[in-house]
Amino acid sequence: MDSNMLKEIVEKAQEAVSVVKDDSLKQIAFQKILDSLLGSTSVLCGQSMGTTPELRQAATPTSQHIPESITEFFGQKNPKTHPDIVLTMAYYFHFKGSREFTVGEVVNAYTEVLIPKPKNPTDIINSNIGKSFITKADKEKDSKQAYYITKYGLDYVNNNFSGKSKKMYSKKKKGNIDGKNNQ
Per-residue pLDDT of the chain (183 residues; tens, 9 = 90+): 567 777 777 788 788 778 877 776 777 777 777 777 766 444 344 443 333 444 444 434 444 478 888 999 999 999 999 999 999 999 999 988 788 999 999 999 999 999 999 999 999 999 999 999 999 999 899 899 999 999 999 999 988 898 765 555 444 444 444 455 554
Residue 123: predicted pLDDT: 97
In the chain, where the domains are located: 3-62, 66-161
Residue 27: predicted pLDDT: 77
Residue 23: predicted pLDDT: 73
Residue 39: predicted pLDDT: 63
List, in order, residues 6 or more apart from 179 with CB less than 8 Å away. Answer: none
The answer to whether 182 touches 172, Cβ cutoff 8 Å, is no
Q: Name the class of domain 66-161.
A: mainly alpha
List, in order, residues 6 or more apart from 113 with CB less than 8 Å away. Answer: 70, 71, 74
Residue 6: predicted pLDDT: 75
Backbone angles phi, psi at 149, to 5 degrees: -80, 145
Residue 103: predicted pLDDT: 96
Residue 165: predicted pLDDT: 58
Residue 115: predicted pLDDT: 94
Residue 166: predicted pLDDT: 56
Closest by CA position to 31, among listed 154, 157, 148: 154
